[in-house]
Amino acid sequence: MHRGSLSPTAILGGLKITFAQFMGSFGGRNTVTVQYPLRKKRMQERFRGLHRLERHTEGPYKGLEKCIGCALCAAACPAEVITVVAAENTDDERYSPGERYAKVYDMDMLRCIFCGMCTEACPTEAIVMKHDYELADDSRRLPNKFIYHKEDLLDRPFHW
């Protein structure tokens, strides 16, 4: 410990780490960056990325939407991202198991702070957050490409 004075040894010691990291980035085992966008990093399990609306994958309701249009996600959302308009299922036109489904499900992704409250509020685990994080797009004018509609969110291809 050299208190109050500059020691050449200490400086060299520090630079050694810098140099080692620098060299390591050319493929050594210490690499922390990836060749984005050629390669993509796998996110942590609990990473909160872009949302997706799920369907039932098994059981009697297989193929139906999980969302029941309850708008609890919209209520939980602190950033007022979500707009839900509910409507009634009929026997001919059935979207979800019960009587109610979301006719409109819009998310304004520019507002989203990715807090995950919506997924926590959802009673049916219909809205989930996947690991995608590439949200850039090229139009805020109409049609605003940052407003994701139900069609965009349902069956959305996702990475993990």
Partner 1 sequence: MAKHEIEWVNIEVDGVPLRVRKDRYLLWSLREAYYDVPHFCAHKWLDPPFAGCRMCMVQIETGGKMWPKLQTSCSTLPSEGMKVYLKTEPVVQARKEELEFHLLNHPLECPVCDKGGECMLQDQSMDHGVSAGRYIEEKRIRPDAILNDYMRMNYKRCFHCKRCVHYGENIDGANLMKFVKRGAETRIESYPEPGEAPRFSGNLIDICPVGAITARSYRFMGRPWEQELRHSVGSFDSVGANIWLCSRLGEMARVIPHDNDQVEFGLIDDVTRFAYECVNDPRLLSRATLRSQGGSEQVSQGRGESEAGRRLAAVLGEHGPDSIGVLAGSGLNSEEYLALAKWCGSVLGSGYYHFGESLFAGAAPSAAALSSFVHEHPGIDEIVNASTVLSLGCDLFEEAPALGLRVDIAARRKKLKLLSARSHRSDADRFATLFVNYGYHNLLRLVRGLSNALSGAGECPEEFKPLAEQLRSIGDDCAVVYGQEVWQNAAPAELIEALSALRSAIAAANGGKPVWLSPVFPGVNSAGALLLGNLSAFGVSAGSELKPAAGGLKTLLEAAASGKLRALVIFDYDILSTYPDRALVRKALDSVGLVVYCGPFENPTSEAAHIQLPLGSFAQREGTVVSMEWRVQKREAAVLEIAAADVAEVLNGLTTAMQGAAVADTMQGLYLELCERLPQYPREAFVDFPYEGRRMKPQLAEAAPAQRSELPAEFKGSADFPLVLVPKRFLYNDRAEIRCSPVFDQVAKPFHAFMNPQDMKVYNLAAGDQVELQDDKGSSTLPIQSASWVRPGSVVINDYCIAAPVNVLAGFDPVRVRPRKAQPAKAGEAALASSGGAE
Residue 76 or residue 87: which is nearer to ligand SF4 going by CB?
A: 76
Is residue 100 within 8 Å of 135, Cβ to Cβ?
Answer: no
CA angle 83, 152, 112 (to 5 degrees): 50
Nearer to ligand SF4, 12 or 75 (CB): 75
Choices 39-47, 87-95, 111-119, 136-144 (CB under 6 A): range interacting with ligand SF4? 111-119
Q: Which of residues 88-117 bind partner 1 (CB under 8 A)?
A: 88, 98-100
130 binds, among partner 1, ligand SF4, none (CB under 5 to 8 A by kind): none
Does position 79 interact with partner 1 (CB under 8 A)? The reply is no
Kindly tell me which of 33 and 44 has the beta carbon lying closer to ligand SF4: 44
**Contacting ligand SF4 within 113-152 (CB under 6 A):** 113-118, 121-122, 124, 126-127
Q: How many residues bind partner 1 (CB under 8 A)?
A: 17
Q: Which among 74, 69, 4, 51 has a CA at the least distance from the CA of 148?
A: 51
**Strands, sheet with 82-88, edge to edge from the N-terminal-most edge strand:** 82-88, 100-108, 147-148
* Residue 30 burial (10 A CB sphere; 0-12, 13-18, 19+): exposed
* Residue 108, strand partner residues: 147
CA distance 74 to 122: 9
Q: Which residues bind ligand SF4 (CB under 6 A)?
A: 67-73, 76-79, 81-82, 84, 102, 107, 112-118, 121-122, 124, 126-127
